[in-house]
Amino acid sequence: MSSALAGEIKLAPKAVLELFTSQGCASCPKADAMLTEMSRRPDVLALAYHVDYWDYIGWEDTFGTKENSDRQGDYAESWGSSRIFTPQLVVNGKGGLVGSKRDAVTKALGGASLPLDVKLVEAAGDMLQISVPGKPGQSDAMIWLVTFLDHADVTIERGENEGKKVAYTQIVTGRQVLGMWKADAGAELTLPLSEVLTGRSNGAVILIQADRGGLPGPILGAASFTR
């Protein structure tokens, strides 16, 4: 493999942390900073989903999308909850916490685990090979590709965080379904990185996530690639 292609691969995390955040939320910078800290752990994959529903209060989040807001809403519906707030942290797709409360997050991480191993290999020709072995007895699940930008500094000019310069990490830039993971057979895929890492994206996470009638269930496995 050419060194020009080399990227960083993170395998076998015990937890995927999904933070729903907003540049227009005064309570969010503390959670954003904690996510940055957590993202450095070898056993954690972190993703920041910037929502758009606070844009009306004076500052339009430069990374906020309706798709991210919809994912948060889908989680709430999956759990039978009507509560939507920021900063909200979801651990392995199983429940929401206040994303700035360190003790609660630390406790959730203490008992976290993922049952599936997702293997990534960066191959010649600028390709990413994905392999997820089967696991009989487990329910089939969806294979998701989540792209991200690993870092950005944003000066917020209006709204609740006016005048602050905030560092953001693992900023979600897109999501798409790659296919289905079959418990009895596993899954193998190969993706051209030139088509995956487009625009401002420089990283990707592969998520294996249970599907609950079109709503997100528990995350079963994950791995990440960053260039």
Tokens at 17, concatenated: 């942390």
Closest to 168 in 3D by CA, of 21, 25, 55: 21
Residues 3-34 as b or e (16 or more Cβ within 10 Å = b): eeeebeebeebbbbbbbbbbbbbebbbebbeb
User: Order of strands across the sheet with 187-192?
Assistant: 119-123, 127-132, 187-192
Positions of the chain with pLDDT lower than 70, given as ranges: 1-5
Task: Give the chain's domain count.
Answer: 1
* CATH number of residue 117's parent domain: 3.40.30.10
pLDDT of residue 6: 74
pLDDT of residue 3: 40
Taking only the tens place, the pLDDT of each residue in 142-160 is 999 999 999 999 999 999 9
Q: How far apart are CA 111 and CA 125, in angstroms?
A: 40
Chain-centre distance for alpha carbon 188: 21
Instruction: Please give the residue range of the domain that contains residue 29.
Output: 3-226
Taken in order 182, 213, 114, 188, the sign of the CA dihedral is positive
